Structure 1
Amino acid sequence: MRIAYYCQHVLGIGHFHRSLEICKELAEHHEVRLIVGGPPVDDVPKTITLVQLPGLQMDTDFKNLAPCNSAYSLDEVKKQRGTRLYSFFEKFRPEVFLVELYPFGRKAFRFELDPVLKAIRKGELSPCKCFVSLRDILVERPNDRERFEERVITTLNRLFDGLLVHADDTVITLGETFNRYPDIDVPIHYTGFVTPKSTPQSREKMRHQLSLAANEKLIVVSVGGGNVGEELLVASIAAFKQLNTDKNCRMQLFCGPYCPENTVQRLLLNLPPNAAVDRFSAHFPDWLQAADLSISMAGYNTCMNIVQAGIPALVYPFAQNQEQAFRARRLARKATITILGDTDLTEHTLATHIISMLGRTRYQADINLNGAVGSRLQIERWCQGV
């Protein structure tokens, strides 16, 4: 089948990397195009063909869209994107169209999505099954929840053929953050959580590459894309200085590809011995296999990396909305996860948490992490009329 997958990331990289994992699985069996239009991303495998729309991202206040290329106005970029997206559908003629998040989010992009979706329904574009690709938890909408949910239901039921929820329904269900769940008319399928697998024997290989002794502990600290989370990086470095490591403990920090350069330089200036800072690793799951403790934010991708690795973890949920804290609490029921709050980021308190968690053993959680394969199989069933 010819499959088009639309993913618009505007702030972090979580949405993109979850979408990429699904596309990698689909590309092993079908012809896939991944449509993107956010800030630049790296490490896209050659098996995935990108369709690049003119870039849009959140502005510096995280409130409105802004062109990635400041030479163009927002209206100019919108017009270019709408034309290119529609033209792509005319030429590629996909049989399946997967849309990440919309209409449960990304309302600002309906200017380009609705014309395509409506044209498919009207028969003005070639026949195509349209499915939503949705993460586990929706961000709360305290001010316009009823209007938002009515808009979602109307768009979903009119323009889509199915809903893929990338979660394990024994952990989290969509109805817990979406009141109109019973009004969804299209088929719903829980795929399992989506996460990349580590490479075989990655713990042994990575520890050998790092020249880690058998009794040496490795702590990995990460903050996803790096737009937020500086306070966790700073606190982790301060706490690490409190540990009596005596060369028996190392810390590797990943500050994210979008972390401001001045923040990176401040971190480097304050690094203690046996600690290192990098922006990103394409082999992050392997790092977690090699490590003995993870300290991180609680975004979808990082949490799934943690559970897949079975590594004890300290997680610091993003405080601006409920999503990360909700996920962390649910996963902590089945995984060795301790949730940090602002008061835990003092150097002495965090050091105490680190020492405690370094004494915990690895585990294998009863959580479905096979979401990429689950997505492909269900798409194939729906397209076969099963």
Structure 2
Amino acid sequence: MSLRVLIAVTHLLGAGHLARAAALARAFAARGHAATLVSGGTPSRLAGLENVAFVQLPPVQTVGTDFKTLLGDNLAPVDEVYLDKRRALLLDTLRTARPDILITELFPFGRRVLADEFATLLDAARRMNPRPRVLCSIRDILVASSKASRVAETHERVLRDYDAVLVHGDPELVPLEASWPVDERVKPLVRYTGYVDENDAPMPLAHRHGIVVSGGSSAASLPLYRAALAAAQDIADRPWRLLVGRGVAEAEFLALRESAPAHVTVERARPDFRALLSGAEVSVSQAGYNTVVDLLRCGVPSILVPFEAGKETEQRLRAERLAALGLAEIVPEAELSPQHLAEAVRRGLARRPSPAPTISLDGADRTVIEAESLVSSGPALHRTIDWSPLDLALDRARDQGVPVRFWWRDDDAVADTPRLDRLLELARRYDAGIGLAVIPEKIQPSLARRLASEPKAFALVHGWSHADHAPDGEKKAEFGPHRPLDRMATEAERGLHLAREHLGSRLLPVFVPPWNRISPDLVPRLPGAGFRGLSTFTDRKSARPPPGLVQVNTHVDPIDWHGTRSLADPPLIMTALAGAVERRVTGDADSEEPIGFLTHHLVHDDVIWALCERLIARLAARGIGFLCPDAWFGLEIRSHLKSNGV
């Protein structure tokens, strides 16, 4: 599969955003994809783009932390004519590249000052046939607006225009929620790629020596350089090296070099920075994304002076996470002085280098894999599905004071498998209860071990062997009216005992007949076999289940069993969900019965998984969770378990 990929980025202050976007472009090209990189920021030296089509828009930049005023090459504010030229070239590039994948860097989570430009690009992409997959590329930490309306606007833009949000970070270090209030509806679109780092970890030098000071590519690091030169006066027994970014004006750079003492080298940033860092005793730097990736690779004791001007919080949060891991000491920007910096460097010299933590650093390659997977997984589900029937039904239920509850049943589990792990991880992510209908004759020991760590997952008894005993030409059934009643009652009881031997307290005495079909004559025999619950499909016929049983059915199955065996037609799924809600509102179904969502994890493809997660997330955003299984069937089951000493 060879894809056409278009990446649009505009860096306004430093070059970190551009460097990360360029790394992604190189990774796509290395996998044989046709990559186009469009940069709207100040021209910067980029290496290794021989196989990438590069387009430079009329550049814009900002000064300091004034991100609302766009300046051109001459540092004068740009006008609409200038911005129109950018938009025209951007759209021309889109038409020429005809991408299968369009990636916008940071927008819509940032770059509001360029919102019209990005909106024009997205609108044009939406009208293309075929329409490209649209991905958002963001760093590990964002700066959220203090206005809830702007955050909501971002989420609505994501839901309308994007297929995925690629977070170039590792939640083990810092989850996106630490810096951005992630909407439950957006959460299913979030994909962590790991940190973007194109370089292999260098071999640390046998003998580390000296202090390396770096400040990224912008002039915002000048206070750090000046403080470091003064601190070096007090620590003269080590060589110092100041690496000054290209964003610092030549006059300022020369002034730094001229004021440096003899044991301090001041030079422009070098391509072998990683090697220099790996041989240093201490690193002094800000806490930008790329710098932190270097520090994670090298494990050098670090002094971090995070950039915090203009109420910036990104670098401070990242620095705090590293400090919590014992990898760095923080000198707040407001407290930066030669004395404080020198004291921190001395403490750093006394510390031993820390082993690098197990943080994912293969973000570029993972980004390509995620993009390939999205293209190969079929239509963009969240943009093609119309949720309004379900939303309207839930609104009516709320307005009329009718509580709507959901539960989740998944059939055919027998062992701990990667697919079961994915199912349980999804349930855990949304704090959802789930009932696993397990096939007694096929249960493997690994299933009990897996369920022991899942407090909201319980097993139910899924027949005996899931064997079809129906005559030819009739619908499949294991416990249908075609078999002797005594034999079926014996098999059901046998299944309950065997499942309990394997699963103990993780099993509820609930019978789930395979294919949801059961002989009416068998139902009254279930309590005598030890069952206290029954679950099939469709609304139960009566508010009063058979004596001795609590019946809670399922009502919506997202799989097209008689066609593609992939996702059923989304409008049909929405109609089924909305109908189940409406029947509880109108009284056509027992309003006390939770709506059952039925899945089969062993046959799910990516499109089915996506629908499941987006439905669960959408309900969670309304405060509707999936009931824990031991609450579905009421006090009768719990009293039964207690009386049996379980």
Q: Same fold (TM over 0.5)?
A: yes
| Corresponding residue number in structure 2 for 1:192 | 194
| Corresponding residue number in structure 1 for 2:544 | none
| Corresponding residue number in structure 2 for 1:232 | 224
Q: Aligned pair 1:80/2:85, yes or no?
A: yes
Q: Which amino acid aligns with 1:333?
A: A
Equivalent of 1:368 in 360, 375, 378? 360
1:248-298 Cα shifts (integer Å, max 9, x gaps):
x21111121111233212211211112111222122222211222110011
Q: Which amino acid aligns with 1:164?
A: L
Deviation at residue 342 of structure 1 after TM alignment: 4.3
| Corresponding residue number in structure 2 for 1:348 | 339
Equivalent of 1:99 in 99, 104, 127? 104
Q: Aligned pair 1:147/2:149, yes or no?
A: yes
Q: Which amino acid aligns with 2:151?
A: E
| Corresponding residue number in structure 1 for 2:269 | 280
Deviation at residue 227 of structure 1 after TM alignment: 2.0
CA separation in 2, counterparts of 1:60 and 1:322? 15
Answer whether contact 2:193 2:362 (CA < 8 A) is retained: yes
After superposition, the Cα gap between the structure-2 partners of 1:69 and 1:168, relative to the gap in structure 1 and judged at 3 Å, is same
After superposition, the Cα gap between the structure-2 partners of 1:25 and 1:61, relative to the gap in structure 1 and judged at 3 Å, is closer
Q: Which moved more, 1:317-326 or 1:282-291?
A: 282-291
After superposition, the Cα gap between the structure-2 partners of 1:180 and 1:342, relative to the gap in structure 1 and judged at 3 Å, is closer
Q: Aligned pair 1:326/2:317, yes or no?
A: yes
CA separation in 1, counterparts of 2:64 and 2:289? 23
Deviation at residue 233 of structure 1 after TM alignment: 0.8
Matching of residues 287-298 of structure 1 within 5 Å: 287-298=276-287
Identity of aligned residues (%): 28
Equivalent of 2:118 in 113, 118, 124? 113
After superposition, the Cα gap between the structure-2 partners of 1:167 and 1:200, relative to the gap in structure 1 and judged at 3 Å, is closer
Answer whether contact 1:294 1:313 (CA < 8 A) is retained: yes
Q: Which structure has more RCO (C-alpha within 8 Å, separation ≥ 6)?
A: 1
CA separation in 1, counterparts of 2:252 and 2:9? 28
CA separation in 2, counterparts of 1:173 and 1:102? 19
Q: Aligned pair 1:169/2:174, yes or no?
A: no
Give the superposed CA RMSD.
2.1
Aligned residues: 370
Deviation at residue 215 of structure 1 after TM alignment: 5.6
Q: Aligned pair 1:270/2:272, yes or no?
A: no
Q: Which has the larger radius of gyration?
A: 2
CA separation in 2, counterparts of 1:173 and 1:61? 25
CA separation in 1, counterparts of 2:277 and 2:270? 11
Q: Which amino acid aligns with 1:176?
A: A
Answer whether contact 1:82 1:111 (CA < 8 A) is retained: no
Q: Aligned pair 1:32/2:35, yes or no?
A: yes
| Corresponding residue number in structure 1 for 2:139 | 135
Q: Aligned pair 1:65/2:70, yes or no?
A: yes
Equivalent of 1:336 in 327, 348, 367? 327
CA separation in 2, counterparts of 1:106 and 1:239? 37
CA separation in 1, counterparts of 2:364 and 2:241? 28
CA separation in 2, counterparts of 1:48 and 1:330? 35
Q: Aligned pair 1:49/2:53, yes or no?
A: yes
Q: Which amino acid aligns with 1:329?
A: E
Give secondary structure in 2 for the equivalent of 1:24.
Answer: helix
1:35-76 Cα shifts (integer Å, max 9, x gaps):
101111003312332111111111467341112256994212
CA separation in 2, counterparts of 1:312 and 1:295? 9
Deviation at residue 195 of structure 1 after TM alignment: 2.2
Give secondary structure in 1 for the equivalent of 2:357.
Answer: coil
| Corresponding residue number in structure 2 for 1:312 | 301
1:296-331 Cα shifts (integer Å, max 9, x gaps):
011111111111111110000112211111111112
Matching of residues 225-264 of structure 1 within 5 Å: 225-245=217-237, 249-264=238-253
Deviation at residue 101 of structure 1 after TM alignment: 0.4
Q: Which amino acid aligns with 1:366?
A: T
Deviation at residue 137 of structure 1 after TM alignment: 1.3
CA separation in 1, counterparts of 2:279 and 2:200? 10
Deviation at residue 232 of structure 1 after TM alignment: 1.1
Answer whether contact 1:163 1:188 (CA < 8 A) is retained: yes
Q: Which moved more, 1:176-185 or 1:6-15?
A: 176-185
| Corresponding residue number in structure 2 for 1:218 | 210
Q: Aligned pair 1:383/2:375, yes or no?
A: yes
After superposition, the Cα gap between the structure-2 partners of 1:198 and 1:299, relative to the gap in structure 1 and judged at 3 Å, is same
Give secondary structure in 1 for the equivalent of 2:108.
Answer: coil
Q: Which amino acid aligns with 2:161?
A: L
Q: Which moved more, 1:9-18 or 1:172-181?
A: 172-181
| Corresponding residue number in structure 1 for 2:158 | 156
After superposition, the Cα gap between the structure-2 partners of 1:72 and 1:44, relative to the gap in structure 1 and judged at 3 Å, is farther
CA separation in 2, counterparts of 1:186 and 1:55? 35
1:66-100 Cα shifts (integer Å, max 9, x gaps):
12256994212211111111111111111111110
Q: Which amino acid aligns with 2:192?
A: Y
1:5-56 Cα shifts (integer Å, max 9, x gaps):
1111011111111222222211101111111011110033123321111111
Structure 2 gaps, min length 5: 378-605, 607-646
| Corresponding residue number in structure 1 for 2:529 | none
CA separation in 2, counterparts of 1:300 and 1:71? 29
After superposition, the Cα gap between the structure-2 partners of 1:140 and 1:110, relative to the gap in structure 1 and judged at 3 Å, is closer
Give secondary structure in 2 for the equivalent of 1:9.
Answer: coil
Answer whether contact 1:175 1:181 (CA < 8 A) is retained: no
CA separation in 1, counterparts of 2:19 and 2:266? 21
CA separation in 2, counterparts of 1:114 and 1:100? 13
Matching of residues 13-32 of structure 1 within 5 Å: 13-29=15-31, 30-32=33-35
Runs of 4+ aligned residues of structure 1 deviating over 6 Å after TM superposition are: none
Answer whether contact 1:55 1:69 (CA < 8 A) is retained: no
